[in-house]
Structure 1
């Protein structure tokens, strides 16, 4: 048995995987994001640990025997979050999250200070990355900055509480802007640009390496033995492992809180000027490129709350009743948390364009689903322009449950989309698979297979026709409003 723990933005998800690759149990616990001021996005690291323990207690109450047979634990988590510890290993301040946009000025400072930033990291400096967040702390909270003994990514804070070790993996660390992504090692030059040292960083491991073992206290609390804990991966890289995307030309769409278009590569091929991310994969000697839209399924959650529906499923049922044989007059810009690819604009904002007295909640929802799809189309173009080749696309994440959204995406992207069983648990499944590879030393190809196909969605020719026109309007709308954000 293998345990996969995924620390997401909206909750912690944990699965138990048996030796044949079957998910036999899962549990989750929700999390909330604090937005104390515009552009800010924070969470309490203590809440991550509490949610993890709640999910583990749920598993323990229903699957105690399986937990006792777990051989290793893999970790996955939301990327880029700045988790700051002092010399006593106490949390200094709330963690600044991946979708926080306060550090735009600091991004410019980093690239001006270290002229080789894009060459070293393979990426353009963006407010979502960890390094500019730390420079913001240095400039705005100098007393807190002076106290920093360790900087950890979210899942690696969980690892510290589980094992007592300061460690991270290549894929997650590539999103800090402190990693030399080609050489897969910390860059002294990039750390210097933010006033930090290698001693303040965790030790680096490949995603399939063991970083430590569960402490006696935690093992007892969870009803487990003191099993190895494996490096794991950032949520997107782990999601790729969970869906079997580890070879060139394989890709996936992730409809989580954010939206990700991920393509695996066996070589390092950066293209930072297009706002494409080039990161290490959590499989050794492998990299990946991805486009990121900061708000995806979170837009659906938002419009559900806005319109007063009890849940997303209920709103989607109403939306499915609309006539999709003709275009909507409503267009939505999904920039509720700013945007990364291709705009790199943390001040971009969400917009409904085309509202009338007759606009319904279902029509608002339709435009949200379409707006996120158009943002994915922006990402697809940036990936192709940067040299990525895309053949097979699987879909993962909570938003993958909506077949209507899948039809819209397939038609906008002009791609066949594949939905696989267990696609909703992608990162947690990937984390468990990395744990399995670490302790069995199996070839990743034998463990990271694509899941059984549930169904495929083909582009709809009628929708494809009018979406090509609406996509042009979508892009024009952003550029016409850009100066006003």
Structure 2
């Protein structure tokens, strides 16, 4: 039996998975975010810890025998967060989260201090990453910065509490801007640019490697027959990829969550920062991955539903299956955009409206705008040398076959709908735990999920979208939004 723990921003999820990879039980405990100032986003790490205890305790009540039989634990969760510890391992302040934007000015300072940052770390310096947060703390909270002895990411801090060891794995470390992603090692030059040294970092392991043993008191609390081994684990997207078996070069998926992600597994480090492509280590040795990110995917439809006052399902039912592009255009830049523009100030827009443009065509334009933003991601990956030939689709938006058909036509590739429900990063974390315990090869554990349907791109709609895509891109280039 294996336990996957996923530490999201809004909840901690615990998932029990048996030797046949069937889900035995799950529990989720909500979290809240504190915003002490505009643009700030923080959480108390102790809240993660208590939520995790509550979630696993719930599994113990509902599935005592299964929890007692756990042999391995895997961790997944939110990336980029900064947990600052003093020499005694105590927290110095609340954790600064991935969606905190206070360190925008420090990003420019970091790139000036370390001109090779983009090529070494594979990414543009953005406020969401960890390193700029430390520059902000050094500038605005010098008394705190002077006490910092270790910086941990959220799930590494949880591991520290679970095992007493400070260990991080490659996929999560890739989101700090301190990792030499090609070499899979900390970059001394990147650390020095933020006033830190290698001694402030936890030791590194691969995601499917053993990384500590559960504290004896916790094993007793949950009546476990033995002290489980912890796996290195993975950052949220990499853990989701392990759960989907997207671990081989060429594997890809589209995530239609609040934000949208086009994820592609690669056999080598392929940085392409000029188009805001993220290049990270995967959770498996010798593999990497790239991501194109659009910041408002399903949240664009949710915004439009709020404007119209109708449920999303009603808007989608009214739409039907489009045979031609909407005459209206929608830019889904409600909170800025990542790939390929890296533009935090751009905002969304409708264009091409007329007296004949009703709600149905505007709904269609919203779905198409997100599809075109994903096409921008696809083309950015292609420019880096990564060709995506097909992809699975996950996330809340994947429940709409109409939206999948629109995206397939916009991307020009087949998209696979999955038959089973999703379990997110927790399932991937449980798979990594199994590998850490058994030593099985990733290919043996990561069997592909069943696919319910393959949606092929409609050739007529795909041709029509070529012209619409040009209008969409021209609208951004004209600016003023």
TM-score (norm 2): 0.91
| 8 Å Cα contact 2:230-2:436 kept in structure 1 | no
| 8 Å Cα contact 2:229-2:436 kept in structure 1 | no
Corresponding position: 1:321 with 2:318: yes
Judged with a 3 Å threshold, the aligned counterparts in structure 2 of structure 1 residues 222 and 362 are, in CA distance, closer, same or farther, namely farther
Judged with a 3 Å threshold, the aligned counterparts in structure 2 of structure 1 residues 131 and 316 are, in CA distance, closer, same or farther, namely same
| Post-superposition CA distance 1:234-287 (Å, at most 9, x none) | 111111111111111111112233322111122223222222111111101111
Match of 1:460 in 2: 458
User: Structure 2: how far apart are the matches of 1:299 and 1:60?
Assistant: 39
Deviation at 1:67, TM superposition (A): 1.2
Match of 1:414 in 2: 412
Worse-superposed segment, 464-473 or 162-171: 464-473
Deviation at 1:376, TM superposition (A): 1.0
Deviation at 1:307, TM superposition (A): 4.9
Worse-superposed segment, 211-220 or 348-357: 348-357
Judged with a 3 Å threshold, the aligned counterparts in structure 2 of structure 1 residues 359 and 267 are, in CA distance, closer, same or farther, namely same
Match of 2:7 in 1: 7
Deviation at 1:55, TM superposition (A): 2.8
Deviation at 1:150, TM superposition (A): 2.0
Corresponding position: 1:230 with 2:231: yes
Worse-superposed segment, 248-257 or 192-201: 248-257
Deviation at 1:28, TM superposition (A): 2.3
Judged with a 3 Å threshold, the aligned counterparts in structure 2 of structure 1 residues 144 and 366 are, in CA distance, closer, same or farther, namely farther
Judged with a 3 Å threshold, the aligned counterparts in structure 2 of structure 1 residues 88 and 209 are, in CA distance, closer, same or farther, namely same
| 8 Å Cα contact 1:315-1:362 kept in structure 2 | no
* Backbone CA RMSD of aligned residues: 2.6
| 8 Å Cα contact 1:396-1:423 kept in structure 2 | no
| 8 Å Cα contact 2:319-2:363 kept in structure 1 | no
Worse-superposed segment, 379-388 or 329-338: 329-338
User: Structure 2: how far apart are the matches of 1:2 and 1:435?
Assistant: 6
SS where residue 74 of structure 1 aligns?
A: strand
SS where residue 456 of structure 1 aligns?
A: strand
Deviation at 1:365, TM superposition (A): 5.0
Which residue among 345, 348, 352 is the counterpart of 1:347?
Answer: 345
| Post-superposition CA distance 1:114-153 (Å, at most 9, x none) | 1221232222222221111211222222223223232111
Deviation at 1:172, TM superposition (A): 0.7
User: Structure 2: how far apart are the matches of 1:367 and 1:123?
Assistant: 31
User: Structure 1: how far apart are the matches of 2:163 and 2:152?
Assistant: 14
1:245-264 equivalences under 5 Å are: 245-264=246-265
Judged with a 3 Å threshold, the aligned counterparts in structure 2 of structure 1 residues 334 and 83 are, in CA distance, closer, same or farther, namely farther
| 8 Å Cα contact 2:389-2:413 kept in structure 1 | no
| 8 Å Cα contact 2:259-2:295 kept in structure 1 | yes
Match of 1:271 in 2: 272
Match of 1:296 in 2: 297
SS where residue 339 of structure 2 aligns?
A: coil
Corresponding position: 1:398 with 2:396: yes
Judged with a 3 Å threshold, the aligned counterparts in structure 2 of structure 1 residues 61 and 405 are, in CA distance, closer, same or farther, namely farther
Worse-superposed segment, 458-467 or 280-289: 458-467
Judged with a 3 Å threshold, the aligned counterparts in structure 2 of structure 1 residues 472 and 218 are, in CA distance, closer, same or farther, namely farther
Structure 1 unmatched runs, 5+: none
User: Structure 1: how far apart are the matches of 2:258 and 2:276?
Assistant: 19
| 8 Å Cα contact 1:316-1:362 kept in structure 2 | no
Worse-superposed segment, 455-464 or 224-233: 455-464
User: Structure 2: how far apart are the matches of 1:355 and 1:220?
Assistant: 64
SS where residue 320 of structure 1 aligns?
A: helix
SS where residue 318 of structure 2 aligns?
A: coil
Deviation at 1:430, TM superposition (A): 1.2
Judged with a 3 Å threshold, the aligned counterparts in structure 2 of structure 1 residues 73 and 129 are, in CA distance, closer, same or farther, namely same
User: Structure 1: how far apart are the matches of 2:441 and 2:392?
Assistant: 22
| 8 Å Cα contact 2:378-2:388 kept in structure 1 | no
1:425-444 equivalences under 5 Å are: 425-444=423-442
Deviation at 1:22, TM superposition (A): 2.2
User: Structure 1: how far apart are the matches of 2:458 and 2:10?
Assistant: 32
Structure 2 unmatched runs, 5+: none
User: Structure 2: how far apart are the matches of 1:349 and 1:93?
Assistant: 33
State the aligned residue count.
Answer: 479
Corresponding position: 1:142 with 2:167: no
Match of 1:280 in 2: 281
| 8 Å Cα contact 1:12-1:51 kept in structure 2 | yes
